[in-house]
Structure 1
Amino acid sequence: MIKIEILSQGEELLTGQVVDTNASWLSDELVRMGLTITRHTTVGDDKGDLVAVLKEIAVRADGCLCTGGLGPTVDDLTAEAVAEAFALPLKLDTTALAQIEGFFEHRGQPMPASNRKQALLPTTATRLDNLCGTAPGFSLEHTGCWFGFMPGVPYEMKQLFNNAIRPVFLQRFPERLKSLVIIKTLGLGESDLQDRIQSIAIPNGVRLGFLTAPEGNQIKLLFDADFPQGRAQGLIADFKNQLGASVFSVTDDRSYQQTVYDVVGEQLINKGLTLAVLETLTQGEIASQCLGKPWLLSAVYCQDLIQLARFIGMDYLAKNSDKAWCQLAQNSAEVVRRKAKSDYGLAQLCFNNKIDGSPARGTIYTALVTATTAISFIDQVGGSLRRQQRQSALKAFDRLRIFLQENN
């Protein structure tokens, strides 16, 4: 197996001041090329640490992409560390120097003396021209490992990777496209997912992974390039069968960030249906997720029971039991549906209180109403008010998704 590593350099990454989006982007690009990333390493502005990790990577990896540390300041140490680690003294690259001088001349400024440092590259290194900034990249091979060094500025890194590094990688490591299938779920925790799929045997040539996120938990299946398509579809079907209605999306396009709101929207459009919603705890979260959608005819927010009573035209709101709350939610859904003249009415009632300054765990009463059907659900949600807001909205739309799915 070809082993590829990613090395990120910068104290700001270790201290959390900056999120390392470069490593994430590079990993995604390399996986699309059929390569396997075995390690991500982050090192601060310490030349000794950089020298040590470069030596380690050279021994264990076939390729390594490095970002950061190519600037003009004293904490930019990558070139110096490479020179020391691989016994390749720094040498002035006159073409690189001319490019840096031209960068400043084009802006009508003299080149600061400190920028000359960026033109010092390790002997035998190949210069990689930076079309967007002053820091040239460079590449070299040591003990069979090919290194590509790029600036840490994301847009500079991306153009240099696409123009100079991708072609080399494709030549050195012939493309073997893998297929990534993402199964998105709602309503099941990570441990619940594991229990549901425990009986499924994962064959050779498939890697199983999990991702937990507020918008739902995901199962990722990475298939080798030569894995039979028929077997892959059978395995995906096994997962869907075990997970049941909790699955709201299956996609092989990692760039398509499909949400449960997107899925419900597609269902409503395909059926030619419209929706009106009444929100309480969610405070407009549902409406914001459906902004500009033609199938959403109305979205109403009631801050408290007084506003709700006025909206639905009732002087007294019985709420002394779960049954009474569910009936109230159904009445609210019917009123918002009738006023909007929509096919579906969705109401979610939860007026949460604080206990000792913290939000209490909320009981949510969700109702879905059509011209002929009225159903209600009871859910629990905890955490901060912001989390309760998001989770309540997701639960409401997931209930609607399942109803639409089961009533074709």
Structure 2
Amino acid sequence: MIKVSMLSTGEEVLHGDIVDTNASWLSELFFEQGFAIHYRSTVGDQLEELENEITALSLKSDVVIVNGGLGPTTDDLSALAAARALGVELELNQEWLEIMTNYFARLGRPMAASNDKQAMLPVGAEMLNNPVGTACGFSIELNNAVVFFTPGVPFEFKRMTTDEILPRLKQRFPNVERLECNKVYTFGLGESGIADRLKSVKLPDGFSLGYRSYMPFIEVKIFSPYQDQNIEQVIEIISGELADFTLSINQPLIAAVGHLLDHSQTQISALEQVTGGEVARSLSLDAKAQEQFVQSVVDNKAQPLSELQDALLIADEYRQDTQSDIVVSSFRMEDGSIALVLISAEYHFAQQVSFTRDYPLKSQQILLSTLILDMVRRYLQQISMLATLSHFERLAFIEG
């Protein structure tokens, strides 16, 4: 098995000032390509620690990906640390210096002297092209491992990984078997509940399950050999066992809703008195959903309602005002519960719910907006609107 390590660099990553999205992206991509990451570490902008960690990873890995530290400032130390690990000097890479000079000339700007530093590579290193930035990458051979040095800017890192690094890895390790990860997105059932429902499922050889939990979803990951003939059947079995809790396959809920809105050419608006604009934010994050999204009103000062029927009446008025095909709404009720509504010209559904335990405000908004978006999904798929609830208790509903 090929051992792949990743080293993230920078004080901002080490101390949590930024989220290391590069690491999670690379882990998922490399797993699917057959180069699963077996070790990850993070080091700040300390030259000796960088040098020591690069050397240590090269001794226990076949491949090392070093991310960050290729910029023009004094705290960008990855190239120097690589040179010290190799026991060589840095030298000016004339090819990259010319590329940078031409880049700034096209912009009509002089190149700062500090940018020269980005063309200083360890003697013997192979340059990796970066067509979308000024920091070239490079690779070295150290202790029988190949070590790739990459820029920290996410879109530069991703471009270099797919265009420069993956082709080299596939050439170096031609017999690596690709893997596949299919995802079943669920809502309303905890990991233990999911595990109980799936414990009797017998998986084919080479298949395994994993879970990723994040508010408010749990992804059930189905790992398998690439394009295995049993994949579709296993996905069907897993999603069937989870039945009422399955939102979508291989796409987040909002992407599934966006696809359904686009396919049916259904225009939607939102009237939010409880969710604080979370429904509108979600609809704006997906291109297809955004195309069908008419408008949203967030009203934090509205008076609580006494009857669930009142929620339907207000939502229908808003639907007529916006001339939307459907409107979704959230309302506060006098008893502290929440009314959630989906209404069209021909159909209406309203449910009154309360939380089963205390949640922070942001979590309440996310949970309620997820339930609302699931109502949209169910309406467009023409399945029962009465989802099984775990975060909520359903106190009443109206449908017609």
Q: Which TM-score band applies after superposition, normalised by the shorter structure? A: 0.7 to 0.9
Residue 184 (structure 1) shift: 0.9
Which sections of structure 2, spanning at least 5 residues, go unmatched? 386-400
Q: Is the 8 A contact 2:272 2:299 kept in 1?
A: yes
Residue 61 (structure 1) shift: 1.4
Cα separation, 2, equivalents of 1:95 and 1:140: 18
Which residue does 1:313 correspond to in 2? Answer: none
**SS of residue in 2 equivalent to 1:282:** coil
TM-score w.r.t. the length of structure 1 is: 0.74
Cα separation, 2, equivalents of 1:43 and 1:31: 23
1:75-130: CA deviations, max 9, x gaps? Answer: 332233223334x3114245257537835883664762x55554443343223344
Residue 342 (structure 1) shift: 7.3
Cα separation, 2, equivalents of 1:263 and 1:239: 18
Cα separation, 2, equivalents of 1:188 and 1:144: 47
Cα separation, 2, equivalents of 1:293 and 1:73: 40
1:377-401: CA deviations, max 9, x gaps? Answer: 4241743433323322221232453
Distance change (3 Å), C-alpha of 1:62 and 1:369: same
Q: Is the 8 A contact 2:337 2:352 kept in 1?
A: no
Cα separation, 1, equivalents of 2:260 and 2:125: 56
Cα separation, 2, equivalents of 1:72 and 1:294: 41
Residue identity matched to 1:395:
L
Which residue does 2:275 correspond to in 1? Answer: 282
2:331 aligned to 314, 336, 349, which one?
349
Residue 250 (structure 1) shift: 0.6
Residue 29 (structure 1) shift: 3.6
* 2:148 paired with 1:172: no
Which residue does 1:366 correspond to in 2? Answer: 340
Which residue does 1:259 correspond to in 2? Answer: 253
* 2:400 paired with 1:406: no
Distance change (3 Å), C-alpha of 1:37 and 1:278: same
1:396 aligned to 372, 376, 392, which one?
372
Greater mean alpha carbon deviation, residues 118-127 or residues 363-372: 363-372
Which residue does 1:312 correspond to in 2? Answer: none
* 2:113 paired with 1:139: no
Residue identity matched to 2:20:
D
Cα separation, 2, equivalents of 1:163 and 1:374: 50
Q: Is the 8 A contact 1:278 1:332 kept in 2?
A: no
Distance change (3 Å), C-alpha of 1:352 and 1:4: farther
Q: Is the 8 A contact 1:54 1:85 kept in 2?
A: yes
Residue 6 (structure 1) shift: 1.6
Residue 285 (structure 1) shift: 3.8
Greater mean alpha carbon deviation, residues 17-26 or residues 331-340: 331-340
Distance change (3 Å), C-alpha of 1:126 and 1:340: closer
1:305-342: CA deviations, max 9, x gaps? Answer: 65x7xxxxxxxx6x3xxxxx444445555665677787
Distance change (3 Å), C-alpha of 1:111 and 1:199: same
Residue identity matched to 1:67:
N
Cα separation, 1, equivalents of 2:96 and 2:294: 61
Which residue does 1:383 correspond to in 2? Answer: 359
Distance change (3 Å), C-alpha of 1:267 and 1:72: closer
Larger Rg: 1
Residue 15 (structure 1) shift: 1.8
Residue identity matched to 2:355:
Q
TM-score w.r.t. the length of structure 2 is: 0.76
Distance change (3 Å), C-alpha of 1:268 and 1:48: closer
Q: What does residue range 179-198 of structure 1 map to in structure 2 within 5 Å?
A: 179-198=180-199
Cα separation, 2, equivalents of 1:203 and 1:301: 49
Cα separation, 1, equivalents of 2:294 and 2:136: 54
Which residue does 2:45 correspond to in 1? Answer: 45
Q: Is the 8 A contact 2:101 2:111 kept in 1?
A: no
1:116-166: CA deviations, max 9, x gaps? Answer: 554443343223344455544321222321111123334443444344323
Residue identity matched to 1:376:
Q
Residue identity matched to 1:223:
S
Q: Is the 8 A contact 2:184 2:246 kept in 1?
A: yes
Distance change (3 Å), C-alpha of 1:336 and 1:233: same
Q: Is the 8 A contact 2:55 2:142 kept in 1?
A: no
Cα separation, 2, equivalents of 1:68 and 1:152: 4
Distance change (3 Å), C-alpha of 1:337 and 1:20: closer
Distance change (3 Å), C-alpha of 1:233 and 1:135: closer
* 2:38 paired with 1:2: no
Cα separation, 2, equivalents of 1:390 and 1:176: 39
Cα separation, 1, equivalents of 2:334 and 2:56: 55
Which sections of structure 1, spanning at least 5 residues, go unmatched? 252-256, 309-316, 320-324, 354-361
1:216-257: CA deviations, max 9, x gaps? Answer: 2211222222x632x222221221122111111012xxxxx5
**SS of residue in 2 equivalent to 1:220:** strand
Residue 39 (structure 1) shift: 2.0
Residue identity matched to 1:192:
G
* 2:209 paired with 1:208: yes
Which residue does 2:82 correspond to in 1? Answer: 82
Query: What is the percent sequence identity of the aligned residues?
Result: 31
Equivalent residue pairs, number: 375
Q: Is the 8 A contact 2:67 2:149 kept in 1?
A: yes
* 2:121 paired with 1:121: yes
**SS of residue in 1 equivalent to 2:217:** coil
Cα separation, 2, equivalents of 1:302 and 1:161: 46
Q: What does residue range 5-20 of structure 1 map to in structure 2 within 5 Å?
A: 5-20=5-20
Q: Is the 8 A contact 1:151 1:157 kept in 2?
A: yes
Q: Is the 8 A contact 1:280 1:348 kept in 2?
A: yes
Cα separation, 1, equivalents of 2:265 and 2:164: 49
Cα separation, 2, equivalents of 1:277 and 1:92: 59
Which residue does 1:102 correspond to in 2? Answer: 101
